[in-house]
Amino acid sequence: MTPVVSIEDLHTDIALRRGVAHPVSGVSFTVNKGETLGVVGESGCGKTMTVLSIMRLLPPGGHISRGHIRFSDTDLAALEEDGMRAVRGTRVGMIFQDPMTSLNPCMTIGDQVAETVLLHRKVTRAQARQRAEEVLELVGLPRARERLDSYPHLLSGGMRQRVVIAMALACEPELLIADEPTTALDVTIQKQILRLIDELRARLGMAVILVTHDLGVVAGHTDRVAVMYAGKIVETSSTRELFANPRHPYTEALFRALPENVERDRALYAIPGLPPDLSNPPPGCRFAPRCGYATPECRAEEPKLTGDRHPFACFHPLGKAGQTAANPPAQPPRAQQGAPLLEVRNLVREFPVNSNGVLRRRIGTVSAVSDVSFGVRAGETFGLVGESGCGKSTVGRLLVADDAPTSGSITFAGTQITGQPQRALRELRRDFQLMFQDPYASLDPRMRVRSILREPLAIQRRGSAAEQERAVATLLDEVGLPRAALEKYPHEFSGGQRQRIGLARALALRPKLIVADEPVSALDVSVQAQILNLMRALQREYDLTYVFISHDLSVVRYIATTIGVMYLGKLVEIGPAEQVHATPVHPYTRGLIDSIPLADPEREQRKGQAGVRGELPSAFNPPSGCRFRTRCRLATEICAEEAPAMRRFSEQGQQAACHHPLRAAL
């Protein structure tokens, strides 16, 4: 095996206004031809800075202070900028996270792919265009020739990411760096893109560095893994070996935080605290402050990365037994009896689409939510899952009366909230609250936490100033934030802490129902675990009812009592969480479950081709009959002609709308 790139003791510094951060301090690894190396860790661990160092595309103030990056016979760390330009884009290709921002909206995709070729090869425009067409076909862009003259906005997210990959591959690089290439995409598309990268690697014999925070992605698509923490590699080995037998406590902690590995009656393991400040890392082992096994030795001296086949940097490695202690038990949410607290009947929401002309004629409607019905009993958690664009967030907005449905009704605690005037709603709103996805955008940056938490109380005129003050203090205790947080501004907190503030604000009015719209999808796994544990604990304490909206079926399986699966505005399957997850009836649910990358190389590689093919069609002109038929392997003529009705599949209430269910109906 010849290494394509070999990094030796790489140190990268970034000069800040005050002091210097060391996002990469002493990283060494090699990647061989035809091999994929996965780099994993929480955000802020230096993964991205490591690969940006290889590309020498560090942010302002950043430079490589020590070490070598040996790429064939050159040392990239010492190369002149001119020389570097001959390497980037030709011999090393890079794929960034967000396909929306890595394409120029003013250039056709053909020109953008051809640009790379024109820059690096002595070719004519026609030849470059020819090459662009070849690579676009290579990355599986349908009808590549016709699409050469399309602009990026005409393509879907998955298609755009294919174009970005095509740009990276246009000059047949020896090394491909993919920095979170699928984080912005849906699971079904993620699976397609990762498979594409695998195939291309095998076909072109490239070396690939895959940077990701997702252990599932690493399990299925890499040969070797390097786990990074606070600018250092703490453990590295072959993927199978690492997943079967993690030695470093940090690696183990990452595994334990995954909801997919945890029984519903156990709490998730949350890594306490936050990654250290990289301008002033702690002495000794950098993980020691958050480690359950740490001893004074760990805090005094830094462990070296030692070992031959499976090196790790720890004084107290885990034994062959793997996980040492089981997660503490926690009561799972139980299915409740009695009348539903929230009842949704035939909910429809359509958005009119107007022409661009002066008259703005109405030319059609986007059917975002179409005939959705379900009920949620008090104390339950209803999980709503589906790909982005399936209408789950629209349902969430309708539930909290942020938007009015086109038709259908929502009844909450016996009162119909649809069709109520705003003034009447103001009173009702105290009983149902929304928890937002983005903890950065949902808190006013110019308000202190004290004012943020007091605002709902002030609006609803609840209690005197002193009582409100006490209520705010209690809220902070409940979500596990110190009192000192009161005087701080949102930007002084980490993402997880901000989400705690968001939860506290939603709780302030002591609502009966909280609609949480993707509350953990912007967070790292370890922090996600903290928030999920907290949400469960609060649910038991205050008998809360949750509607939990998420794209992540493994999170929903863990937290919900009932799961509803949405596809393109329709509810396709609904039922008890365990049942829907273990024995789905609808082919879409099955495909969604198969698309989730599992943090287990054996199972992940056995799944192979399974998943959902194609992309979500537009809701502007949804397919006739069953909306899923265009992507369904089982579809027949009847699926196009007749919309399937909901049928019962189990005594416990599993229902699905499908002509060709995976199991016979009752």
Partner 1 sequence: MSTEAHSERVSRNMDGPDADAERNRAANAEAHKRSRLVRTLSTFLENRLAVVGVGIVGFFLLFCYVGPSVYHTDQIHIELSETTLAPSLAHPLGTNEVGYDQLGRLMVGGQSSLEVGIAAALLATAFGTLWGAVAGYAGGVIDAAMMRIVDALLAMPALFLLLFLSSIARPNSGLLILVISLISWLGPARLVRGQALTLRTRDYVRSVRLMGGGPMRAVLRHIAPNSIGTVVVNAPFQVADAILTVAALSFLGLGVPPPAANWGDMLSNGINYVYDGYWWLIYPPGLAIVLVVVAFNLIGDALRDSFDVRLRRR
Which residues contact partner 1 by CB under 8 A?
16-18, 267, 269-270, 272-274, 289-290, 328-331, 400-402, 425-427, 429-430, 433-434, 436, 438, 441-447, 455-456, 459-460, 480-485, 487-488, 491-492, 497, 505, 509, 530, 533-534, 536-537, 540-541
Smallest distance, partner 1 to C-beta of residue 274, A: 7
Q: Kindly tell me which of 455 and 469 has the beta carbon lying closer to partner 1.
A: 455
Q: Kindly tell me which of 270 and 657 has the beta carbon lying closer to partner 1.
A: 270
Q: Kindly tell me which of 436 and 588 has the beta carbon lying closer to partner 1.
A: 436
**Encoded tokens for 608:** 């192979």
Q: Which residue has the tokens 């004629």?
A: 361
Distances (CA, A) of 176 to 31, 218, 362: 11, 16, 47
**Encoded tokens for 292:** 């359950």
Q: Kindly tell me which of 243 and 546 has the beta carbon lying closer to partner 1.
A: 546
Smallest distance, partner 1 to C-beta of residue 68, A: 29
Smallest distance, partner 1 to C-beta of residue 93, A: 30
Q: Kindly tell me which of 22 and 162 has the beta carbon lying closer to partner 1.
A: 22
Smallest distance, partner 1 to C-beta of residue 501, A: 11
DSSP state for residue 649 in the 8-state scheme: -
Reference 217, options 178, 272, 266; nearest CA is 178
Q: Kindly tell me which of 302 and 403 has the beta carbon lying closer to partner 1.
A: 403
Distances (CA, A) of 260 to 39, 118, 243, 458, 608: 21, 47, 14, 40, 19
Q: How far apart are CA 493 and CA 499, in angstroms?
A: 10
Smallest distance, partner 1 to C-beta of residue 533, A: 5
Please report how many Cα atoms fall inside a 13 Å half-sphere around the Cα of residue 194, on the Cβ side.
33
Contact 35, 2 (CB under 8 A): no
Q: How far apart are CA 421 and CA 442, in angstroms?
A: 25
Beta pairing partners, 142: none
Contact 37, 7 (CB under 8 A): no
**Encoded tokens for 76:** 């990239």
Contact 215, 259 (CB under 8 A): no
Smallest distance, partner 1 to C-beta of residue 551, A: 18
**Encoded tokens for 189:** 């598309």
Smallest distance, partner 1 to C-beta of residue 328, A: 4
Q: Kindly tell me which of 272 and 283 has the beta carbon lying closer to partner 1.
A: 272
Q: Kindly tell me which of 172 and 444 has the beta carbon lying closer to partner 1.
A: 444
Smallest distance, partner 1 to C-beta of residue 26, A: 24
Smallest distance, partner 1 to C-beta of residue 150, A: 28
Contacts with 246 (C-beta within 8 Å, 6 or more apart), sequence order: 235, 252, 255, 318, 322
Q: Kindly tell me which of 472 and 534 has the beta carbon lying closer to partner 1.
A: 534
Smallest distance, partner 1 to C-beta of residue 483, A: 8
Beta pairing partners, 175: 92, 207
Smallest distance, partner 1 to C-beta of residue 506, A: 9
98, burial (CB in 10 Å: exposed 0-12, middle 13-18, buried 19+):
middle
Contact 158, 615 (CB under 8 A): yes
Smallest distance, partner 1 to C-beta of residue 530, A: 6
Q: How many helices (H) and strands (E) does the chain have?
A: 22, 22
Reference 643, options 567, 591, 576, 583; nearest CA is 567
Q: Kindly tell me which of 58 and 643 has the beta carbon lying closer to partner 1.
A: 58
Q: Kindly tell me which of 38 and 439 has the beta carbon lying closer to partner 1.
A: 439
Contact 252, 564 (CB under 8 A): no
Q: Which residue has the tokens 């089981």?
A: 326
Q: Kindly tell me which of 92 and 401 has the beta carbon lying closer to partner 1.
A: 401
Reference 279, options 545, 44, 571, 535; nearest CA is 44
Q: Pinpoint the alpha helices (H) of 464-600.
A: 465-478, 495-507, 525-542, 553-559, 577-582, 587-595
